[in-house]
Structure 1
Amino acid sequence: MSFPKAKTPERLYNEVESYDLIITPDGPLASALNRQLDQPHLGPFAIPPRRLAAGRREKSEDRLAFLDIIEHDDISWKQIAYAIGNILQCWEHQGSHNAILEYDAYVDDATERAVKRIADIDTASMELTIGNIDPNQDVVIVGFDMLTQLERSFLPDEYDTVDLFTDDPFELPEFRILDSTTAIVDAVINSVSVKNAENVAIVLDQNSEYSPLVESALEAAGIPFFGGPGFSDLAEHRAFLQLLRTAFRGTETLIEEIRPLLATLNIDLDIAHEEKRLYQTEAPELVWLTDFCRKAETYTFGEALTAFKKRANCELETFRDELDTLSIANEPVTEHGVDQLSFYLQSYEVPVNRENEGVLLADAKSAAFVGRDVVFFLGLDEDWTHSPPRRPWVDQQAQYTRNIQGFQLLLQSGSKQHYLVQNSTGGSPVTPCLYFEELLEQEYDRFSDLPSTTHSQRSDLETPTAFEKTSASVSTESVETISQSSLSTYVNSPRDYYFSRLVESPDKDYFTEGNLFHDFAEFYVNHPEFVDSTVIEETVEFMLEEARPLMRSVDEETRRTEYRIGLKTIIFHLGANPPTDDSFLTPSTGRGTNIIADYFDRTVDSPVTERRFDAEDLGINGVIDLVQSRIQLTDFKSGSKKSARDVVKHSSVDDPTDEPNFQALLYLTYWRSKFPDERLKFTFFHFLETVDDAIVGEVDIEDTLTTVTYYPTSPEEYVNREEFFEYLLEDGANKCQKILSKIDYEAYDDLFEVEKPPKTTDSNELIESAFGQQMIDQLEDIIGEYKYVTTGSKQAMREMTRVWERNYFESDLDAFETFIQDRLTELDRRLAGDERFPVEGLAGEPNYRYVDNRDLLLEGER
């Protein structure tokens, strides 16, 4: 695939060396031509129009104009910045500084005042407007189409032009597709050294994630570079601004929101604090920060900078100079002042003095030519496409021509080009820069639709094996048992499970609150006589104190009500349904701690609460909240209630869902190993389910309970039993009760003699099966061919499927035991590195609502 080839600096020089003056569209191309000179030249040879007009390097005109105007006029900073931007842009496209006044919709008092002030400021634009190139010089323009209207107004009446491109094709090198941003950065860093840094350029979107990663990697490797972070990008400058913002953000500021500031202040907090509120987090490391924020308005900007400089142990003289430039160093710190400072730093690039040595970092949207031998292009995605200014004074076609020619020239910079890209990120395809569509005349959605090769590892730039795959060492630690939560995570997304083993997670409000409720329930079971209304209120306040760092202040009263009702609901249920027997249990260590018991200086040693199990023979582990009786386990839940049907559905191993939850099935499997022939029950107690009901009226405790039963038999045998016949006779639907009242159990049992019912949760499938038709026929023979007999038979069969889909049977637990062993074998194989942990789970694409490490999941099997 190809497009017109750009002329090399050597070829361009050969075409223009006889001229007195060469005008180029940008500085790097001019520098490349100047390096070709083999003899002294009087005055400039190759030079961009602005530099020639100003007689110096170009300065940021928008910032100069802004500083001049705010010094002389009392006017809104945002308003004047908007006006200056329009004036300079219109000037560039129309050739006159007051051309903006012809567009009434963009003219206001600020614009008129800015036009007058700009006319008196020494800028390159004004020199271009009032000056001209010496007509006696022999002038040639390289890349005339890339010059703006203002630059063209500076040209003499007569000049020659030289095209930037030839009729020869430039064969586009293949895109090198890597797994991730970090893989791309590694590929570059592994190919660059101190020795070859002067020959290397890296082109990237300076607003992308590549920019900070590349800069950090080069710094860590000790490789010099320039053209990278600007004034506002320096870590200390950003941290100081974040410090000022934090002072006015209020009490809801989270630790995770100010991590860069904490790093600059050398404050290292455990990740568990990530989602806690700053002012509610008790940590000695935060004292200086919270004290500063509380009294920020007593400082001037200069004093605040001094305090920060001392605490962070950094040099900030350039920032102090900028405060002086803005005339706010001695102004008191206010929220409005911080907003203005933030706006200024976001809007204008403050000059930074630095050595131009080492690797050149070039912005994809600013550069049109890079004068280095080896050039890495990172990303090349749709963010490389310029957003054309939507203003009436802009010639859209001319602007597009400048942009696409600049892109075309940029792609061919250097004698070696390396295009390093991603094919997808965050589960979505990466769209290549839109200019490729016109240059290549081919439709595409992602880079793999274009000539490309896929790589997973990197080596040295100069070797042909630079992008060959290599194997990474993986821990071979075996997993003996798995918990219900880990199993659910693994089934949803094995890769998310893998990262959950490597990455710590922050404390969550619902985890903290859930643990507090669990501890109270255990405490109450151990000391029911101790808990009275005073203890309840004291517990509520203690829970608020513990959870306060994780909640918004506006939610505190709501949480207080929820806590009180939740505690009372726990007391009501456990008081009415205490554990009935513990003689069959051995002592248990439980979870080890109980913060509620510690608060009241009591112990919890009942064998029926928080009972830990680790069954290596089954491959499972867990903690039982409450052993209600020999045949019933109870689990306390602070979340929303699920029906028994949903519990069974989402624990299916034959047809996994995208909301896997194996708790009831796993715990019953363990309990069956202790009591294999017992009918067992598992109850979810959703103690917050009736909070709304408790506020407005009476509570039915049954609304908080979801129970599933394990029957130590087959589903088909169970519905054949006399007890199920009696259940249908008493609690079945009307027509079902009517037909069964006309027969006895022996006649009911005869319905199962010839055909056996298929185990299904689809009632229509059961009704249409051979058993279903046989049941209807036999009942009609006994009772008569009445419509209610058919209806009643169907009602009975629907009740059968309801029982099957709401409970577990022997085959379900047997299948689950096999399922566990299969998953553990598979897990060991993946941990050993024999195969990768896929993103997709057993139900296909993971349900991202239940994924904990979303940002770490890379799509596909690369």
Structure 2
Amino acid sequence: MPIRRAKDLDTLYTEVDDYDLVIVPDAPFASALNRRLDSPQFGSFAITPRRLAAGRRERAEDRLAFLEVVDRTDHDWQAVAYAVGNVIQCWEQQGRLDAILEYDAYVDTTTREVVDIMADLRTTSKQLTEYTVDDEQSVAVVGSDQLTTLERSILPDEFDRIDPFTAESFDYPEFHVFESATDIVTALVDTITAADAEHVAVVLDSGSEYSSLVESALEAADVPFYGGPGFVDDPHHRAFVRLLRLGFRGPETTVGDLRPVLSQLGIDVPIDHNEKRLESVDADGIDWVREFCASLDERTFADVLGAYATKAGIELSRFDDELRELGIGDNRVTSDGVDRLAYYLQTYDIPVDRTNEGVLLVDAKSSAYVDRPVVFHLGMGKDWTHSAPKRPWVDSQTQFERYIGNFQRLLQSGDDQYYLVQDTVGGEPVTPCLYFSDLLEDDFGRFSDLETVDHRRRPRSGGSGFDREPIDVNRETVETISQSSLNSYVNSPREYFFSRLVDSPDRERFVEGTLFHDFAEFYVNHPDVVATADRSDLVDVMLEDVDPFITAADEPLRRRKYRIGLETIVAYLDEYGPESDETDFLTPTTGRGENCFAAYFGEPIDSPLTERWFEDESLGLKGKIDLVRTPDQLLDYKSGSKKRAATIVKRAAVDPPADTPNFQAALYLTYYRAIRPDEPLEITFFHFLETIDDVITGEAELDETLTTVTYYPFTFDEYVGSRDAYETLLDGYNDCQETFEDFGYSAYSDLMSQLTFPDTTEKAALRASEFAEEFTAAVDVGTSEDVDAEKGADQAIRALNGVRKRTFFCEDLDAFEAFVEERLEELNRRRVGEERFPVDGPAGEPNYRRIDNRDLLLEGESDD
């Protein structure tokens, strides 16, 4: 069915102005009709059933009933809220307070007591039950099908029904499509001034990001507004409850957990401390928070609220009133009590004093009519769709008709309507409000399938989009990039950009990793000092640095982990210690900073082989080498889980980049081959915690901690015909070994010089290739019948492909060099504003598990 056109207010007023009483389904609609009265009216004219029966503004009877029940009984608060909600809803749908008792599945002791107590309360529903409109009045009902059973119970036997819709359809306006919620709110605020705020309404989902964005933007622009944030949305109310909850969390509470509270209290703690335990941080203002949390269970709710208000320098009298009304102001604070308070605040709308001036903010699911000349509808996604109550006393079809009728009226509110939407969020299409599928005849799945105006930014080269003013500033060019920065940039250029702008906290894994690196560096320089030191003292040195991140309960496991890690590093360096004397290609400083073990023992670090910083502008690369073990082998310490050589090579791919890019091996070997050209090189990753479980059982093997990746200074095509490749086949599977021992190296070399190994690394594609067919046929002809040449050839192809997948060849690092050059040129263009830093990297959508600043990424933005 199409969207039915709603009658304008002037037309409706003309139809009803001769009636004594006009009953309408919602209060804003009634107010709008009343404002059109052209003569004094005694008593009510346009009014809702509830307002008519109560004779005053409606009160939240669910909250009133809840407060009364918890005051008169000892039932669980959640059980009371559940029962009150069911009783009121059933009463609304069936017209009787005790109707709930006919549904056995929803009746228990709490429900029965709620019914008994509500029978004595002067609620609006009770007044509706008792009220009847005077038959002597002429009565018109606008949209009678929008009234509930209880609301219709007040109607006289005779009344006139007024349809709020015409027989015509509503030609809805175009959807204005933006890239992000921020762009929508920016466009909105750019069109509103304080002078015209009284003429504007904004309809949105109050639980969405639009709500907070709009409120913040209007406040920043000094544009008055009302109807938005409620009692629970007050920043100090939220901060106070959060502080109470964290006060019972114990020693695991971190500074980051308290950051919103600290902000409201005006306590400035550096972000470095975010991931540290509260009790371990010494900063201005933190002592007050610690003392507040420590004394919680000794004080009453009213006391702690007063303490918070004093510290914040504000008045919280309305919150204090609510504590008294709940009857808990003088109760001692407990964890359960805090949970109950938090549940109550999240469940019920607490009345707040509002100044009804400025832009009207309207929740899309609580209103059906907005009486403002200009109405902006924001988002309009599936969150605008009501979830019909799944209760046996609710007629779902009737309820749906009410919802969709209200939705049609809401779409047409105002003289001018503007629909501001996003087409995608997080790379996924935004699903329009589900009512559209019943109302629009067009076949659509997203907003861009409908009539739209596109406000998404486009590159200036395309001749459209937003122009940018050039800024005449000097900017430093990025000449080199580290492996970690390259990983971040390739995963998401915008994440890389924000990581340069936003301070990040100290993190446990980084601190812990640095400690192990410091120990390894110190041991290479002073093995004799470590040999005579007590291992427990070394562990204590580490625990002192990580103490802010761990609890006392964690210490025994950490102590064991650190001891095993240190002993594994010692065992490795004793057996595979550095043999290199090559030092002149590296800078003379480590670049890491103070070594904590060197400081502890008072010994210098002077080995030219450990923690060596390099930077090469010709290659665009920089980094830090943990250990130059031999002239042709670098070593890197890893505290994480072990990766296979094939995985390391795969993650260094550039065409296209991997889902989890990691260019460390490729970057270090690329730099190293510039120093030692035409030589095979290796980088070994030493995962010193890999065998921690095996150490405990006495079965640890050092070789299980090592992954070595090799670089060959020739192409893979050159390799496959070499003696090394042939020897690899002789060291492989049985059939492969027997086949190529029989075939011989000379025949193998001649054959490979005539064939080209396919580019693909896919097993199935290799087996189906022309190369595999010719290779197998030639091997079969050149070997005796005693060997299984077909199987041996297949194993040979797999073995050679395996070498390619776990090894870097000349063409791989050449491609990596070109890739780095392209990324640096691209990065510098973006830094000077020639193009944006997109969310997506070269491989497409980023791996969000590697995003630290996700709240700053406007997902769904086009990168075009």
When normalised by structure 2's length, the TM-score is 0.93
1:704 partner amino acid: T
- CA shift, 1:748, in A, is 5.5
Alignment match, 1:512: 511
Between the aligned partners of 1:469 and 1:123, the Cα distance in structure 2 is 56
- CA shift, 1:783, in A, is 5.7
C-alpha change, 1:395 and 1:298, in structure 2 (3 Å) is: same
Task: Confirm or deny that 1:36 pairs with 2:33.
Answer: no
Alignment match, 1:324: 324
C-alpha change, 1:211 and 1:473, in structure 2 (3 Å) is: farther
Alignment match, 2:609: 608
- CA shift, 1:194, in A, is 1.0
Alignment match, 1:463: none
Between the aligned partners of 2:767 and 2:108, the Cα distance in structure 1 is 79
Between the aligned partners of 2:603 and 2:26, the Cα distance in structure 1 is 78
Counting only pairs closer than 5 Å after superposition, residues 521-600 of structure 1 correspond to structure 2 as 521-532=520-531, 534-551=533-550, 554-582=553-581, 584-585=583-584, 587-600=588-601
- CA shift, 1:80, in A, is 2.3
- CA shift, 1:69, in A, is 2.7
Structure 2 counterpart SS, 1:532: helix
Q: Verify the 8 A CA contact 1:457 1:470 in the aligned structure 2.
A: no
Alignment match, 1:287: 287
Structure 2 counterpart SS, 1:842: coil
- CA shift, 1:686, in A, is 0.9
Between the aligned partners of 2:384 and 2:774, the Cα distance in structure 1 is 70
Q: Verify the 8 A CA contact 2:651 2:662 in the aligned structure 1.
A: yes
Between the aligned partners of 2:276 and 2:683, the Cα distance in structure 1 is 34
Alignment match, 1:227: 227
The CA deviation string for residues 767-818 of structure 1, in whole angstroms up to 9 with x for no partner, is 8878777776776777645434555555555443333332222222222222
- CA shift, 1:846, in A, is 3.1
- CA shift, 1:385, in A, is 1.1
Which of 460, 468, 471 is matched with 2:468 structurally? Answer: 471
- CA shift, 1:178, in A, is 1.2
Alignment match, 2:461: none
Unaligned runs of 5+ in 1: 459-466
Unaligned runs of 5+ in 2: 459-463
C-alpha change, 1:786 and 1:96, in structure 2 (3 Å) is: same
C-alpha change, 1:472 and 1:311, in structure 2 (3 Å) is: farther
Once the two structures are overlaid, the 10-residue window that deviates more, 418-427 or 312-321, is 418-427
C-alpha change, 1:763 and 1:63, in structure 2 (3 Å) is: closer
C-alpha change, 1:808 and 1:105, in structure 2 (3 Å) is: closer
C-alpha change, 1:20 and 1:777, in structure 2 (3 Å) is: closer
The CA deviation string for residues 271-322 of structure 1, in whole angstroms up to 9 with x for no partner, is 3333333334443432211211111011111111111111111110111111
- CA shift, 1:852, in A, is 3.4
Task: Confirm or deny that 1:349 pairs with 2:349.
Answer: yes
Q: Verify the 8 A CA contact 1:456 1:470 in the aligned structure 2.
A: no
The CA deviation string for residues 158-213 of structure 1, in whole angstroms up to 9 with x for no partner, is 21121111112211111111111222221221111110011111111112221122
Task: Confirm or deny that 1:86 pairs with 2:86.
Answer: yes
Structure 2 counterpart SS, 1:698: coil
Between the aligned residues of both structures, percent identity stands at: 53
Counting only pairs closer than 5 Å after superposition, residues 616-631 of structure 1 correspond to structure 2 as 616-631=617-632
Between the aligned partners of 1:599 and 1:190, the Cα distance in structure 2 is 59
Alignment match, 2:804: 804
Alignment match, 2:311: 311
Structure 1 counterpart SS, 2:208: coil
Q: Verify the 8 A CA contact 1:62 1:88 in the aligned structure 2.
A: yes
2:271 partner amino acid: I
Alignment match, 2:384: 384
- CA shift, 1:548, in A, is 3.7
- CA shift, 1:757, in A, is 5.5
Q: Verify the 8 A CA contact 1:715 1:759 in the aligned structure 2.
A: no
The CA deviation string for residues 465-517 of structure 1, in whole angstroms up to 9 with x for no partner, is xx974437689653211111222233333333333333333333322221221
1:311 partner amino acid: K
Q: Verify the 8 A CA contact 2:203 2:364 in the aligned structure 1.
A: yes
C-alpha change, 1:861 and 1:754, in structure 2 (3 Å) is: closer
Between the aligned partners of 2:368 and 2:727, the Cα distance in structure 1 is 85
Q: Paired residues, what number?
A: 853
Q: Verify the 8 A CA contact 1:760 1:804 in the aligned structure 2.
A: no
Once the two structures are overlaid, the 10-residue window that deviates more, 494-503 or 102-111, is 494-503
Task: Confirm or deny that 1:498 pairs with 2:497.
Answer: yes
1:701 partner amino acid: L
Q: Verify the 8 A CA contact 1:2 1:171 in the aligned structure 2.
A: no
C-alpha change, 1:422 and 1:736, in structure 2 (3 Å) is: closer
2:444 partner amino acid: Y
Quote the RMSD (CA, aligned, Å): 2.8
When normalised by structure 1's length, the TM-score is 0.93
Q: Verify the 8 A CA contact 1:70 1:77 in the aligned structure 2.
A: yes
C-alpha change, 1:594 and 1:445, in structure 2 (3 Å) is: farther
- CA shift, 1:104, in A, is 2.4
Alignment match, 2:664: 663
Counting only pairs closer than 5 Å after superposition, residues 716-727 of structure 1 correspond to structure 2 as 716-722=717-723, 725=726
- CA shift, 1:444, in A, is 3.0
- CA shift, 1:621, in A, is 0.9
Alignment match, 1:132: 132
Between the aligned partners of 2:350 and 2:641, the Cα distance in structure 1 is 53
1:480 partner amino acid: E
Between the aligned partners of 2:667 and 2:293, the Cα distance in structure 1 is 50
2:318 partner amino acid: T
Structure 2 counterpart SS, 1:512: helix
C-alpha change, 1:278 and 1:446, in structure 2 (3 Å) is: farther
Alignment match, 1:644: 645
Structure 2 counterpart SS, 1:119: helix
Alignment match, 1:464: none
Q: Verify the 8 A CA contact 2:508 2:549 in the aligned structure 1.
A: yes
- CA shift, 1:242, in A, is 1.2
Between the aligned partners of 1:540 and 1:120, the Cα distance in structure 2 is 69
Task: Confirm or deny that 1:71 pairs with 2:71.
Answer: yes
C-alpha change, 1:472 and 1:141, in structure 2 (3 Å) is: farther
1:624 partner amino acid: I
Alignment match, 1:461: none
1:257 partner amino acid: D
Q: Verify the 8 A CA contact 1:3 1:440 in the aligned structure 2.
A: yes
Alignment match, 2:121: 121
Between the aligned partners of 2:405 and 2:752, the Cα distance in structure 1 is 82
2:137 partner amino acid: Q
Q: Verify the 8 A CA contact 1:718 1:724 in the aligned structure 2.
A: yes
1:68 partner amino acid: E
C-alpha change, 1:631 and 1:46, in structure 2 (3 Å) is: same
Q: Verify the 8 A CA contact 1:206 1:363 in the aligned structure 2.
A: yes
Once the two structures are overlaid, the 10-residue window that deviates more, 496-505 or 243-252, is 496-505
C-alpha change, 1:472 and 1:118, in structure 2 (3 Å) is: farther
Q: Verify the 8 A CA contact 1:13 1:36 in the aligned structure 2.
A: yes
Counting only pairs closer than 5 Å after superposition, residues 87-236 of structure 1 correspond to structure 2 as 87-236=87-236
C-alpha change, 1:331 and 1:723, in structure 2 (3 Å) is: closer
Structure 2 counterpart SS, 1:706: strand
Alignment match, 1:12: 12
Q: Verify the 8 A CA contact 1:477 1:832 in the aligned structure 2.
A: no
Once the two structures are overlaid, the 10-residue window that deviates more, 200-209 or 422-431, is 422-431
Q: Verify the 8 A CA contact 1:187 1:457 in the aligned structure 2.
A: no
Q: Verify the 8 A CA contact 1:653 1:819 in the aligned structure 2.
A: yes
Alignment match, 1:692: 693
The CA deviation string for residues 14-40 of structure 1, in whole angstroms up to 9 with x for no partner, is 111111111111111111111111111
Structure 2 counterpart SS, 1:135: coil
